[in-house]
């Protein structure tokens, strides 16, 4: 299989299920940003983190591929003419979201309560988490905008929202694990 098809040379790309749209289309921006997020999560996974965190991140990366496929499929193309689903893969669902919530709760049990906003940084791995969190929020904003134009699955929006929470808590957990300093944001007085 050749990696290049030359079909996108004029600035359009194919959607799953057929049809072509400009590469700047909101649907493409949405799943392209999910792909960017997936790459940052791979970067976090490649750091010195526990095996449990690595396994969780691999699951999240797999879920993000699923989520991207869901975003790449326009609603009118989700089912075939015979009524079968075009995407013959498990969808992002409540159990995907519960997985993130359980991971968040487990990590939070080991952390001191938050009393202030926290400045990103303190350790390179922690910074990668904050970058991924910001990309996740951008992905969520783009998906919300797409949902305003064409309805997408509610679970996509819920998953991205929860994933950004997970990445924030993961940053705090890694700060603790790596014995880095958590810097509280204290506004300067005028």
Say which CATH number the domain at 153 has: 1.20.1200.10
Torsions phi, psi for 48 (to 5 deg):
-80, 85
Q: Is 54 within a domain? A: yes
Confidence category of residue 73, pLDDT binned at 50, 70, 90: confident
Q: Is 82 within a domain? A: no
Torsion sign across C-alpha atoms 98, 102, 107, 110: positive
Torsions phi, psi for 89 (to 5 deg):
-135, 155
pTM: 0.90
What mean pLDDT, rounded, does the chain reach? 90
How many Cα atoms within 13 Å fall on the side-chain side of residue 9? 4
Q: Is 119 within a domain? A: yes
CA distance 26 to 143: 8
Alpha helix stretches (DSSP H) within the chain: 26-45, 51-71, 94-108, 124-149, 154-177
Torsion sign across C-alpha atoms 177, 131, 22, 155: positive
Q: Is 14 within a domain? A: no
pLDDT digits (tens, 9 = 90+) for 105-146: 999 999 999 888 999 999 999 999 999 999 999 999 999 999
User: Is residue 82's pLDDT more than 80?
Assistant: no
Q: Is 155 within a domain? A: yes
Residue 90: which of 164, 159, 21, 24 has the closest Cα? 159
Among 26-30, 54-58, 81-85, 139-143, the least confident range: 81-85
Expressed as residue numbers, the domain containing 130 is 19-75+91-177
Q: Is 188 within a domain? A: no
Q: Going by C-beta distance under 8 Å and a sequence separation of 6 or more, which residues neighbour residue 32?
A: none
The structural domain count of the chain equals 1
Q: Is 37 within a domain? A: yes
Q: Is 157 within a domain? A: yes
Confidence category of residue 154, pLDDT binned at 50, 70, 90: very high
């Amino acid at each position: 299989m050749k990696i290049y098809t030359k079909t996108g040379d004029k600035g359009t790309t194919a959607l799953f299920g057929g049809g072509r749209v400009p590469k700047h289309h909101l649907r493409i921006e949405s799943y392209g940003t999910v792909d960017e997020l997936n790459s940052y999560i791979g970067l976090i996974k490649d750091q010195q983190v526990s095996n449990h965190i690595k396994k969780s991140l691999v699951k999240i990366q797999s879920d993000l591929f699923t989520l991207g496929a869901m975003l790449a499929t326009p609603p009118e193309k989700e089912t075939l003419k015979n009524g079968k689903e075009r995407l013959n893969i498990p969808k992002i669902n409540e159990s995907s979201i519960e997985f993130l919530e359980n991971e968040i709760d487990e990590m939070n049990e080991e952390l001191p309560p938050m009393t202030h906003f926290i400045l990103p940084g303190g350790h390179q791995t922690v910074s990668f988490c904050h970058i991924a969190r910001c990309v996740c929020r951008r992905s969520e904003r783009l998906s919300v905008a797409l949902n305003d134009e064409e309805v997408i699955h509610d679970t996509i929006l819920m998953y991205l929202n929860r994933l950004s929470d997970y990445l924030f808590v993961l940053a705090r957990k890694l700060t603790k694990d790596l014995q880095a300093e958590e810097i509280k944001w204290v506004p300067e007085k005028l």
